Structure 1
Amino acid sequence: MLEDFGDEWVTKYMFHYRWHFKDDIEKAGTILPLLHGITLDDDSHAAFKQHISDWQTSRLWVVGSNEITAPIIEASFKRFLGQLNHCLSQHPFLFGSRPSSADYALFGQLSALVGFDPTSRALAHEISPRVIAWQDLMEDLSGLEPSESDWVNFEGAEQNLSSLFQEVGKVYLPALLANSLAVAQEEKTWTAEIDGAKWEQRSFPYQAKCLKWINDEFQALNESDQKQIKEFLTKTGCGELIAEK
């Protein structure tokens, strides 16, 4: 679930902060073309900068970013930084002393949010310098020799990750469920109340598949583990994630 949250919700933070704020648009528009071709002549660079900036800002709707949802995205990002700070104050990775797929999902988005884009990096520096340091450490984990004993037990994970799952239940789960229903009913858009405000966005079949895959993984667990996980999800506001059979 946290891997999916990183891929499908934290990416909203990333795209919003990069293409919503003037300083971030300026930096991304300037640097990204040069990553495609460091020898671009000045005229080509200026044209490429204008094109990519116009194109990406016009596509903020893809992640649901607009004047109504901007405060929701920004408030969620600030809470997320505090929640991740708590996790990293207990263990070097989300589930203990070795990285999981969820760590890499968050790292992928944070490499932009705190490694490149100025507005979101400044917020991270203010709220959680620990997250900036973690992103830098995740860049190179060579020499790390993980073992099965590096994972925390369920009780440790529950204590460490509860606040992060509460954020999932607060903002991502309503979007995931509304999108899945819209896809099933062949509706092109979905609407949900997220963090007390109306959110409307285009439906994406892939995200409906994500919800199915999460449920498939849950059903593959034994009965005892299912009971334990369901109790945790319910306590953190994520109980609706698992479809009743």
Structure 2
Amino acid sequence: MADGYRIFGAEMSPYSVKVRSYFRYKAIPHQWILRNAASQAEFETYAKIPIIPLVVTPDGTGIQDSTPIIEAMEKLYPEPSIHPDDPIASFVSALVEEFGDEWGNKWMFHYRWARDVDQISSAGRIARMRGPKAGEPEHAAFAGQVRARMVDRVWFVGSNEVTAPQIEAGFIDMLGMLDAHLSARPYLFGGRPAFADFGLWGQIYEMWTDPTAGGIIGGGAPHVLDWVHRMLWPKAEDPFEAWSTLQPTLMPILQKQVGALFLPWTLANERALAEKQEEFGVTLADKTWTQKPQKYHARSLGMLRAKYAAVEDKTTLDPVLEAAGCLAGLRG
């Protein structure tokens, strides 16, 4: 493993398991290192910011942030590609990857910390991960500290008394559409995983490991559940599909989730940051959404717009994005 990569991550981090799934798919030699007290000194040697995942290359370079990690590795390991040949499908995949990272994280974080049963489960698992040899009194005290800290941070993803019903209703709606889409194919864009699979799967995998969301997924979305398991060790089974065959069940997701919820939210977040607002409100699907601005997301929105701008021929893509309610926001 001396010549391989090292991934510093955590099983309860959607972005960590996203990167691990990608490395497994590409068969890139790697070592999975749990970020905890034992590995913290080594982590700090390579990390520029205190987030996971951190990938350390064989030459000792540290790379952080799941999307840039995958994009960097894709240049080194281009086959099998995670980008469909169909130009519409290829960009939609990038769009859904961003949606998964940013909007899907709202579902995951909300469900993980909204109810007592999930708080107790998650805090206990995190405490055991960070202190595997702790005695019961020490473990219980640390779990209590984790629970208090994380419950106090749900505002970060926009979870509050106003938005909680919207987050949960939106996830249930998404789960139904996603299950219908995956009933006809093993992965989001056909017979092999695309960029979108890794981003969206990381969030839903984490939800599946939690009591409340896991019960909802396991009890009502069998095709999503199969996909959750499949993406732990994804493989190229068949080719990607053309947009024409994906469109009937993927377009409703774009319209009802990405265009109606995610894009209006991200544009409102961008305006709030520009105007230095401490809190902003935006109407999403006829309901008011309120939250504090997310600084990081303004940068990822810029990266998404750059990907759109880089598409040389937008003749067939733009009508799809217009019908999905995404075009104006991507043009900036």
Name the residue aligned to 1:80: 174
Name the residue aligned to 1:204: 294
- The answer to whether residue 214 in structure 2 is matched with residue 121 in structure 1 is yes
Equivalent position amino acid for 1:83 in 2: M
After TM superposition, give the deviation of residue 211 of structure 1 in Å: 2.0
SS in 2 for 1:72: helix
The answer as to whether partners of 1:62 and 1:202 remain within 8 angstroms in 2 is yes
TM-score with structure 2 setting the length: 0.68
Q: Runs of 5+ in structure 1 lacking a partner?
A: none
Separation (CA, whole Å) in 2 of partners of 1:186 and 1:64: 17
- The answer to whether residue 257 in structure 2 is matched with residue 164 in structure 1 is no
SS in 2 for 1:16: helix
- The answer to whether residue 264 in structure 2 is matched with residue 174 in structure 1 is yes
Equivalent position amino acid for 1:243 in 2: R
1:92 aligns with one of 161, 181, 186: 186
Moved beyond 6 Å, runs of 4+: none
Separation (CA, whole Å) in 1 of partners of 2:227 and 2:152: 32
After TM superposition, give the deviation of residue 8 of structure 1 in Å: 0.4
Q: Runs of 5+ in structure 2 lacking a partner?
A: 1-94
SS in 1 for 2:142: helix
The answer as to whether partners of 1:90 and 1:160 remain within 8 angstroms in 2 is no
The answer as to whether partners of 1:24 and 1:117 remain within 8 angstroms in 2 is yes
2:227 aligns with one of 131, 134, 150: 134
Separation (CA, whole Å) in 2 of partners of 1:30 and 1:214: 36
Name the residue aligned to 2:148: 54
Separation (CA, whole Å) in 2 of partners of 1:173 and 1:239: 9
156-165 vs 180-189, which moves further:
180-189
Higher relative CO (Cα under 8 Å, sequence separation at least 6) belongs to 1
The answer as to whether partners of 1:158 and 1:232 remain within 8 angstroms in 2 is no
Give the structure with the higher percent helix: 1
The answer as to whether partners of 2:177 and 2:249 remain within 8 angstroms in 1 is no
Q: CA RMSD in A?
A: 1.7
Q: How many residues align?
A: 237
After TM superposition, give the deviation of residue 43 of structure 1 in Å: 1.2
What's the % identity of the aligned pairs?
32
TM-score with structure 1 setting the length: 0.90
User: Could you report, residue by residue, the CA deviation over 1:168-213 in whole angstroms, capped at 9, with x for unpaired residues?
Assistant: 1121111111011222333333221122222122222321222222
Equivalent position amino acid for 1:175 in 2: W
